[in-house]
Amino acid sequence: MENMATRSSHQSHPANLVDQLSTAVILLDQDLNIQNLNQAAQNLLLISLQQVHGSSLEKVVQLEPKLLAQFRASLRQAQSFTSREIKIKLPGQPVMLIDLTVTPLENQNSLVLEIQPLDRFSRLIRGERMHNRRQSSANLVRNLAHEIKNPLGGIRGAAQLLERELESQLDDPIACQELQEYAHVIISEANRLRDLVDRLLGPQRQAHKQSSNIHQILDKTYKLLSAEAGQQVNLCRDYDPSLPELMLDANQLMQVFLNIGRNALQALQENPIETPEIRIQTRVVRRFTIGNHCHRLVCRIGISDNGPGISPELKDEIFFPMITHRAQGTGLGLSIAQNLIAQHQGLIECDSKPGHTCFNIYIPMEVTP
């Protein structure tokens, strides 16, 4: 009995180990029917093992006949092979570019497929490049903002002294009042510039995280956006009820969601859309990489609209300060949102084309206080 228990433990261990891999692994039998999928493969194919166990691979994934022939040849000849930049198609999904390694298992008459989606690597490289650019831009803006604040403080202080001095000059009350108004304009404009510089500098306080229900924060966002939208725009909620409470700064997250939601609302209100809609969605994502760290579980919050989309020229720049396509915009909302999400070790990504724009906010579910 003890030997059987020990043997059972050893047999289950490799399966558990394979499930920890970020590489998608598929086990096929001699007829190219699916026998097993690790968790990464289930995430990639958007399907569970129970749904496809015993099904033919070509019914689950659209592959070129030439590639299927290579699979059968690999089984017969017991030879591994690797194919680069292979195109595969999942039902209802766009074409996916992958690297594929095929390995026959000796004495088992089966194949192991290892799949690396290339869009994941391109996203990581793009994310690293964008992070470096944002960091350089933030440092430049921060240094420039500090340089601006010094003379700005002097201008404001001098205008206040001038205003007080004018109060004591009563020889010509009318002229004195006019000069005081000029001084007041200088002070108010200096205050406005100071506030703008403070916004350029970004959030001045660290996130104060506590256990929070993400859906309660989103519900507040939904109610505020609904009030602003009136009957013009339809707002929809699509929540994953399995999400647990997360360690969040509720006020900061509220600011992020409102910045993104209001951008979507303005885009819909300023353009003729037949049935304008904003959708707020939450989902759990498994094994998602942010920066250089692969997180076991991540909460994804998607805020999407069916507006005109973001122009390709701006799409890669929208998270930088002062970048906006709106005449009245400051270009600071998304930059601030990215900084706030970074304090939660998270990430914001944008996918946009005419008729569909989606901002996905990813927050690790193991975020610490």
359 and 214 belong to one structural domain: yes
For each successive 10 residues of the chain (369 residues), what is the average pLDDT? 40 55 87 90 83 90 89 90 84 76 85 81 55 58 62 74 68 68 76 68 68 94 90 92 91 89 89 90 84 81 91 66 49 72 86 89 78
Q: Which of 201, 224, 254 is the last residue of a domain?
A: 201
Given 92, 117, 142, the domain boundary residue is 117
**pLDDT for residue 335:** 72
What does the alpha-carbon distance between residue 3 and residue 314 come to, in Å, rounded to a whole number?
64
Residue 369 lies in a domain: no
Classify residue 289 by burial, with Cβ atoms within 10 Å: 0-12, 13-18, 19+: middle
The string of pLDDT tens digits covering residues 240-280 is 998 999 999 888 899 889 989 998 998 898 888 889 999 99
Q: How many domains does the chain have?
A: 3
Task: Please say whether the beta carbons of 88 and 62 come within 8 A.
Answer: yes
CA atoms within 13 A on the CB side of 272: 0
In a domain, 156, yes or no: yes
Q: Are both 214 and 360 inside the same structural domain?
A: yes
255 shares its domain with 328: yes
* pLDDT tens per residue across span 101-135: 999 987 778 999 998 877 655 555 555 555 555 56
What's this model's pTM, rounded to 2 decimal places? 0.54
| pLDDT value at residue 83 | 86
186, 193 Cβ separation under 8 angstroms: no
Per-residue confidence (pLDDT) for residue 102, from 0 to 100: 92
Question: What is the side-by-side strand order in the sheet with 277-290?
Answer: 234-238, 277-290, 293-305, 356-364, 347-353
How wide is the angle at C-alpha 337 spanned by C-alphas 188 and 205, nearest 5°?
65
In this structure, are 135 and 272 located in the same domain?
no
Residues spanned by the domain of 264: 210-364
Which among 201, 234, 254 is the end of a domain? 201
CATH code of the domain covering residue 255:
3.30.565.10
User: C-alpha distances in angstroms, 304 versus 261, 301, 308, 352?
Assistant: 8, 10, 12, 9
What was the pLDDT predicted at 95? 74
183 and 223 in one domain?
no
Residues 249 and 349 placed together within one structural domain of the fold: yes
- Same domain for 182 and 75: no
